[in-house]
Structures are given as C-alpha cells and as structure tokens.
Amino acid sequence: MRTGRVCDEVLAQLEVLIASGEWPVGSKIPPEPELVAALGVGRNTVREAVRALEHAGLLEPRRGDGTYVRATSDLGAALVRRARRSTALDVLDVRASLERDAAATAATRRTDADADAITAAAAARRAACASGDRQAFVSADLAFHQAVVAATGNSVLIDLYAGLTEALRQSVTAINELDDDPAAFPGHEELAAAIADRDPDAARAAVDAYLTAARSLVAPEGAR
C-alpha cells in the first residue's frame, strides 16, 4: 500500500521520468539515496513509490545490480509479460505487422528532423557493428528501429512499440548471435534511404529484406 499524498506525488514524478524517456526502457534508475536527495522526501516514501512501480511492471529490481526500467506504461508492462512467453518467430511476425506499415508511414510523414534522426541512428548502428561490441550493436539497432517508428508521429504506435522493447531486444540479440556477419545484414541502410526519399514502397521492401534475413537465421529450414 502507498503511504498517502506525498508518495502519490513522488510516484507521479517517477512515472513522468519513465514516460518522457528521461529514464528509457532498459536503463538503470538512480540509487535510492540519490532519489531521496533529488526528490526531497524520505527514504520510505521513495521506497514505496518504487515498489508500486515494480508491482505495476514498469520497474524491475535485479538482485545485486539495481532497479531497471522495464516498460513505459501499464500496457507496456503487460506486453513485456506476454512477450517473455513468446518465440523468436512470434516476435518476428509481430514486427512484420508493425514495422512494414510503420516504415511506409514514416516515409510519407517524416519531418526533416525525423530523417536526420534516422540517418544518425543508422550511422550509430554501423559504428556499433564495426566496434565488435554486440551489446552496443543490439542497443543501436533498437534505437534505429525506434527512430523509424517515432517518425510516424503516431503516439499509440510509438507507445506500443516501446512496450515491446524487451521482446525486441531478446529477438535482436538471438539473431545477432546467429549471424556471422552483421555488417552484411540487409535492409537497414535501404530503409533509412527510402524514408529520406519519401518512398513508402521502398521502405516496405527494406523491412521485408531484413525480416526475411532474420527468419532465415532463426528458422533456416523454414519451419513454421
């Protein structure tokens, strides 16, 4: 149970930090003493607010490590729980449904700032791949796809996709571990170019290219 009005106010502040992306999904939140100092409230109040968000599924405690952001909303938390029981192919099917239309929509609606963000995300993805740091590459790959979805301007789709972050991370990690040459993985550079060129058909084709390649790694014999 929460302790009352002060805890509710702290809880609301933490929810804003999560929903705004200041605390992104997958990030570690500040330790309890820092939160106490920053929020100007007692340790018990902070503890109760954090526990409430853990119970809601927005935060996840990891023993010996700290507390991490797991989802940006109650919907996202529910998607995380469901995605944990899904296969890599199930996640790829969902990605196909969301990302093909998102790419086409981004190509028609994107602003110059969106195009710049996608181009920068693609460059960061290339750099992470070249570094050989697979964890950094997975994060950069996710950031690229999130930039594409953000360019749709559809807040519902953006929130839905954010809710799938953990499942997407697991999927991308699994695919990356099976791929001997991530630099040659198709579709991403083409997708960035198609959105920059405002070409929805080319954007869909680029998504099909990387999803087809992903499926060939996850189920090389086409089992489904």
Two structure tokens written together for 109: 């609606």
Q: State the Rg of the chain over Cα.
A: 19
More confident residue, 175 or 151: 151
Q: Is the pLDDT of residue 71 over 50?
A: yes
Average pLDDT taken over every residue of the chain: 87
Per-residue pLDDT at 220: 64
182-191 pLDDT tens trace: 778 889 999 9
* CB neighbours of residue 112 within 10 Å: 8
- How many other β-carbons are positioned within 10 Å of the β-carbon of residue 152? 22
Which tens digit of pLDDT belongs to each residue from 15-51?
A: 889 888 788 877 899 999 999 999 999 999 999 999 9
Of the candidates 19, 23, 24, 26, which has an alpha carbon nearest to the alpha carbon of residue 34?
23
pLDDT at residue 166, as a whole number: 72
Q: How far is CA 111 from the centre of its chain?
A: 21
Question: 3-state DSSP call for residue 203?
Answer: helix
**pLDDT tops 50 at residue 107:** yes
Confidence label for 163 from pLDDT (cuts 50, 70 and 90): confident
What are the structure tokens assigned to 174, written together?
């699994």
pLDDT at 72 over 80: no
